[in-house]
Amino acid sequence: MTHSYRQPGVVLTDRRFTVPLDHADPAGETIELYAREVVASDKAGQNLPWLVYLQGGPGFGANRFVGRPAWLGRALKEYRVLLLDQRGTGASTPANRQTLPLRGGAAAQADHLTRFRADSIVRDCEAIRPQVTGGAPWTVLGQSFGGFCTVTYLSLAPEGLATAVITGGLPSLHAHADDVYRAAYPRVERKVAAHYARYPQDVERARRIADHLLGHEVTLPNGYRLTVEAFQSLGILLGGAEGSHRLHYLLEDAFVRTPGGHELSDAFQEEVQGLLSYAGHPLYALVHEAIYAQDHRPTAWSAERVRAEFPQFDAAKTLTGDGPLLFTGETIHPWMFDCDPALRPLRETAELLAARTDWTPLYDAGRLAANEVPVAAAVYHDDMYVDTAHALETARAVRGLRTWVTDEFEHDGVRAGGPRVLDRLLALARDEA
């Protein structure tokens, strides 16, 4: 059953689909996918081509837009848009601390979660495409991890694509997670330096908070244990257009004077718990490193291991001197499964995923080299989340892929840039620019 309703300038329709949990066993267990169809009000009766949007993450449902902001307004000029909640996210059949025990113990949960990577997401798209388009190929817009999924789509089922557009999401075709994080930590350090250059007063503020956390046990209102490493992980904000400013405003009023001395304010703690909690997107923590796993090597908590190669990120050592505290970026660590109440019950499951060695390939280099689908990709110079060198190497490996390399935007350019990013990439894909 579908339900349609209106917002300013658009008609929305809720759509639900049933797909196999394991596409290798199409007659077996099924799960539900949710997607929101969006069409411009003045085009609602027209036969339009389709664009399916693949959200970044992994583990996030599609954007809940109101009206036609960001890239959506440009897309609606010529497409019906399908905002897909990838399996396990949003309003699709969930995978979280409440539902995963239905699978059984930690080993069964880990086995279950191996089916939540890009290859399964692509096969989901191909399973629902005939119901949506009548069998016609569609255009895909992949943001960040959605771009990783798009490269997998080009590898597994290019016949389903009319055009592919990628924003901040060209993955390495062969790098292990260790290679990804060895490239990432220096980029993060550059972003932190840029933040302190903009807001030099934040050097002392960040050091003061870190020093307080090293000497005190702080539990946030939702039960999250705020350690100094958790505080450093707020650096993930620095990869977005407004992230440096958001971090600055967070730091400026962290403390309040109480009868027992200065403490972290309730307002600070409330905002921090919203930024750090994985309650709304636990799959991000569970399968994040697995998006880089393709060979017979375990990821083995790669970000945690590689961090040890960059001692400048050690807060305790930093505070023995007078240097600035370094924040970290898009990394998942085992301590998160101790600190976050939404993740604690899943610690053993996460350990089993980190030790796993039977990951299947996500990309087909031969098929990408013979690609015939028009593809265009925005590569953001010094993107904090996706290594530029890795992205450009992959761009060269995909036949016909056109890149737009720019330092005008951060990783969220497709949102922050309004219609301009999608407009430019569609023109590139069509050989009009």
Q: Which residues are identified as catalytic?
A: 144, 358, 411
- Give the H/E segment covering residue 150: helix 145-156
Strands 3-7, 375-380: pairing kind: unpaired
Q: What is the DSSP string of 246-311?
A: HHHHHHHT-EEEETTEEEE-HHHHHHHHHHH--TT-HHHHHHTGGGG--SSS---SHHHHHHTT-G
Which residues are within 8 A (CB) of 220 and not within 5 positions of it... i.e. 6 or more apart? 226, 269, 270, 272, 273, 276
Distance CA 258, CA 272 (A): 20
Distance CA 329, CA 194 (A): 14
CB-side neighbour CA atoms (13 Å) of 118: 36
Segments in 288-387 forming alpha helices (H) = 302-307, 315-319, 336-339, 347-355, 365-369
**Crossing angle for the helix pair 243-252 and 202-215, nearest 10 degrees?**
60
